[in-house]
Amino acid sequence: MLDVHRLRLLRELQRRGTLAEVARALSYSPSAISQQLSQLENETGVQLLERVGRGVRLTEQARILVRHTDAVLERLELAEAELTASLTEVGGTLRVASFQSVLLTLIPSALTRLADQHPGLRVEMTQRQPEQAFAGLLTHDFDVVLGEEYAGEPGVAVSGVDEEDLLLDEIRLALPKCGRWSDAGTTLGDLADAPWVLDPADSPPGRWARALCRGVGFEPDVRFDSPDYLLHVHLVETGHAIAMLPDLLWTDRDADLELVHLPGRPTRRLFTGVRRGAAGHPAIQAFRASLRSVVDFA
């Protein structure tokens, strides 16, 4: 019988890339990880790792084993979820990764509802961009992650992840009410010479916004490059930049800026993602239900 713990170490090595990263993530020493994987080689009777420079990489036989390990761990997580569901109270610790606009608007109200309904549940929040969050979900760093998708920027399908739609969030043009750019115009074409604040160019919202500008014939003059939407809002309100901002930001606050619909009224899709085997876990179901309630109320 193969040892499940050692199988998981092999799986973590494939996902994280180096023995040092696995050791750091799981609070072991690299030598301890190496010893466990050597024992797994003895159990299987095949070579699982091969040296590449100062590091190691998985052999084809190891990759076969990892594919089966994914199924084994998913099944075990499903069993754990069913066992927990048989209990009367929701408790334990739930690790959630989300990005800024959701953390600012939906999460506080969701946490309030959870605290009232399930006081024994501890929720730990981490701010991460969706790509980082989903990587952490697969390595069991997080239990629930928040994701987003933009038109023309479809997310990468992740095997073994259960997605649940949360809402479609309209993106609008944000214009200052004061300063030089307050009367520059209200269409994208009018703003070809204006300074912009946008998400980084290598992020989905950053690529999407730049593509929208290029679609009407200009390259945006990005003076401010940042994923911080609070900074975006501040720069627009003070008259220093133009932005494209999601309506979710105005859930619980007023904006001292002008919001204009973009052509076609584009939206981003917001959703939650969990490992498929854990989707039935009471804590995850409670968290998702709480978020849905906040969205419905908003």
CATH of domain 4-84: 1.10.10.10
> Which portions of the chain are predicted below pLDDT 50?
none
DSSP-derived 3-state class of residue 255: coil
Q: What are phi and psi of 45, to 5 degrees?
A: 75, 15
What secondary structure does DSSP assign to 228-246, as a single string? -HHHHHHHHHTTS-BEEEE
pTM of the model: 0.76
Question: Which own/partner pairs from 11-18 qualify as long-range (CB within 8 Å, at least 24 positions apart)?
Answer: 11/66, 11/69, 11/70, 11/73, 12/139, 13/37, 13/49, 13/56, 13/58, 14/58, 14/62, 14/63, 14/66, 15/135, 15/138, 15/139, 16/139, 18/55, 18/56
Instruction: Provide the pLDDT for residue 135.
Output: 86
- Whether 24 and 61 have beta carbons less than 8 Å apart is answered as no
pLDDT digits (tens, 9 = 90+) for 62-80: 888 888 888 888 888 888 7
Distance of alpha carbon 22 from alpha carbon 12, whole angstroms? 6
Tokens 């075990």 appear where?
A: 76
Helical residues (DSSP H) of the chain, grouped into ranges: 4-16, 19-26, 30-44, 60-85, 100-105, 107-117, 130-138, 204-215, 229-237, 282-297
Distance of alpha carbon 92 from alpha carbon 140, whole angstroms? 15
Domain ranges for the chain, please list them: 4-84, 169-268
Instruction: Provide the pLDDT for residue 167.
Output: 95
Instruction: Provide the pLDDT for residue 43.
Output: 85
Q: Looking at the domain 169-268, which fold is it?
A: D-Maltodextrin-Binding Protein; domain 2 (3.40.190)
What angle (nearest 5°) sits at the alpha carbon of residue 63, between those of residues 59 and 65?
115
Judged on CB neighbours under 10 Å (0-12, 13-18, 19+), 196 is buried
Instruction: Provide the pLDDT for residue 157.
Output: 65
Instruction: Provide the pLDDT for residue 156.
Output: 61
